[in-house]
Structure 1
């Protein structure tokens, strides 16, 4: 176990605050080069800054970042109190979406097991899936993960936010992952606006009681999504 993993394990014992696990599964394939990847980095930075500025969310929100193109666990689940800076993302490769979602959900399951072993409560996990294209990894893996995530969403074990980037995003595939919530298309490159909205939503959840239904800011979606 490396030093960062030890810090995160110790944090579960020293900080009993209920956790809000948020997995960001982000398309960083070659088509994201240039302005898109720069704006994505700025958006993630905005998200981290907003969570850091919230006294409750800083100790309760745990962020995991998985990128695809190639698939990489850029940051495993941890509070921003223990890992305050986001990784710098770069664009390359193809769009193996299924493999990336598999890694994100496997990471989530490991973290949930750690919560339970430490006696730490947690809120319904979130998965943010963002892509600007068509998945082109292993089709069987994609089908398996669609079924896995859709079942978790339907049984209230996961909240899924599917977001399309640009006109080339396959919205039909994004819809498969979230039967109860239609995918949304980002307005232009409004990553910062989206992540600002997301941070406010995470803060709202962190101030509730685990198990309570939290109403999302639907009006705020108009500031970053095409409706």
Structure 2
């Protein structure tokens, strides 16, 4: 069975401390639980989680849904938002983890990338360098979420095919976002090989598609 890799890049900078990161943890649990109830997703979807603050950490390497142990994600007391470093880390992981098609064997399906941040990248030069490199990988879709009042769609627009906005950073908001991520993955999972375009499901009221 060909795999459908899904990469989550999650902002864990100091501004995410407290209720926002607790809400993200709740949302991830909801997403994994829902995907596990989809038999086809359970067979094909593999998930990786990379967090970024002053550093970029591979919290979960690419792992099958039925083997995934949902982590508890934490944040430092304070610190910058090194999204560029996270993209550099992602690129290295992709080269190691994704199976490319050969003449003898089909490789993985084109991966999905979801990026969530509540602010502008701190390492803007590295971020700008990494955006075209990440886009050249050939993701099925790169979807960004700008969360909270300080985040702007322009911060993620150079990287993403689509950007959604989440005004509230509470449990209800992030749970809605991760449920929408689940629907996006499940929809793409069912249409693999039948279309070259990715249609996003309608977002819930808490989420606005801004790009």
TM-score (norm 1): 0.80
Q: Which runs of 5+ in 1 are unaligned?
A: 1-16
Alignment partner of 1:185 out of 161, 165, 180: 165
Equivalent pair of 1:98/1:145 in contact (CA under 8 Å): yes
Which one of 198, 204, 213 corresponds to residue 181 of structure 2?
198
1:162 equivalent in alignment to 2:144: yes
Alignment map for 1:88-167 (pairs within 5 Å): 88-92=72-76, 93-113=79-99, 119-137=105-123, 139-152=124-137, 156-167=138-149
3-state SS of 2:86 partner: helix
From 35, 48, 71, the counterpart of 1:51: 35
- How many pairs are equivalent? 203
- Does the CA-based 8 Å contact 1:208-1:214 persist in structure 2? no
2-side partners of 1:19 and 1:158: how far apart?
A: 13
Separation in structure 2 between the aligned mates of residue 32 and residue 204 of structure 1, nearest angstrom: 29
What's the counterpart of residue 62 of structure 2? 77
Change (3 A) 1:118 1:58: farther
Residue-by-residue CA offset, 1:169-192 (whole Å, 9 max, x unaligned)? 1421200112x43x2211413111
Q: Does the aligned pair in 1 maintain the 2:50–2:59 contact within 8 Å?
A: yes
Aligned residue in 2 for 1:26? 10
Q: How big is each residue's C-alpha offset from its partner over 1:160-218, in whole Å with a ceiling of 9 and x where there is no partner?
A: 0011010111421200112x43x221141311111112112212222334363465344
Separation in structure 1 between the aligned mates of residue 128 and residue 25 of structure 2, nearest angstrom: 29
- CA shift for structure 1 position 120: 4.9
Q: Residues 118 and 88 (structure 1 numbering): CA distance in 2 closer, same or farther, change over 3 Å?
A: farther
- Matched-pair contact (CA < 8 Å) for 2:183–2:201: no
Aligned-partner Cα distance in 1 for 2:30–2:197: 23
Structure 1 segments (4+ residues) deviating >4 Å: 114-118
The runs of 5 or more residues in structure 2 that have no matched partner are none
Structure 1 residue 128: Cα displacement:
0.6
Deviation, structure 1 residue 118:
9.7
CA change 1:30–1:116 in 2 (3 A) is: farther
Q: Structure 1 or 2: larger helix share? A: 1
RMSD over aligned Cα atoms: 2.3
Q: Distance in 2 between matches of 1:117 and 1:163?
A: 37
C-alpha displacement at 1:114, in angstroms?
Answer: 7.0
